[in-house]
Amino acid sequence: MNPRIDHWRGRRVWLIGASTGIGAATARLLLSRGARVAISARKKAALEALTGESPFAMVLPLDVLDHAALLCARDTIIAAWGGVDLVLLLAGGYNEMRADSIDLAAAEAMIDLNVRGAYRCLDAVLPQLLKQGAGGIGIVASVAGYGGLPKALVYGPTKAALINLTECLYLDLHAKGIAVYQVNPGFVDTPLTADNDFKMPCLTTADAAALAMVEGIERGEFHIHFPKRFTFGLRLARLLPYRLYFWLIHKVTGL
């Protein structure tokens, strides 16, 4: 559904949300394969430690909610490299929440980061991609966006919004020569999941997640999800009638 990528040498990649977890692992992987990688996140020290002295890396600290900072970073990349071949939005937040313990401030902060942050990034990068008539954009959502889950009262709906967003983007951008990638990881061992107090089926490492995502992009996939033995089960569950779906989720999670 997207063009295949047979090498990364010299390709210009901007990773937004790359100081830890999948973003940091993806930065290391792409740099090792010869890509030019711009990395953004709020933690400047973590970004600098990640890239070291690599001549192919560019550190651009920012907050995805700061629209002016996003525009400035985009302009810096274009001035240095003349364009961008791939933008990957990995920034996002996670908080457990259930209906009997709604925290409005935390809910609004997660919606701002996970959804409004994505739109701010799109506003910064889409004009350049459309001007080029080439390149691609990927958004990391989550399998939590496939259907309702316990403890995901806000996180799940924000990821469902990103899934829908990437589908809309594909419909609008494919004919214009711009690739779109929807990335739905399962449970990944990162700082975001470190405090989970429940069993995380098929937990994978950030390095394995980065490799699965990059290989999916290389193959030109639109819907990149992993680990397959877990994500296929969730996708099939969504085909069940609601009565069976709710029963299955309760049985599997114990919640």
Report which residue type is found at 78: I
The string of DSSP codes covering the chain is --------TT-EEEEES-SSHHHHHHHHHHHHTT-EEEEE-S-HHHHHHHHTT-TTEEE----TT-HHHHHHHHHHHHHHHSS-SEEEE-------B-GGG--HHHHHHHHIIIIIHHHHHHHHHHHHHHHHT--EEEEE--GGGSS--TTBTTHHHHHHHHHHHHHHHHHHHGGGT-EEEEEEE--EESTTTTT--S--TT-EEHHHHHHHHHHHHHTT-SEEEE-HHHHHHHHHHTTS-HHHHHHHHHHHH--
Q: Computed from CA positions of residues 144, 62, 169, 113, in that sequence, does the dihedral angle turn out positive or negative?
A: positive
Can 155 be counted among the known catalytic residues?
yes
What would the two tokens of residue 201 be?
Answer: 């089926």
What are the residues facing 184 on neighbouring strands? 225
Write down the catalytic residue from 94, 146, 155, 170.
Answer: 155
C-alpha to C-alpha distance for 79 and 204, rounded to whole angstroms: 37
The catalytic residue positions are: 155
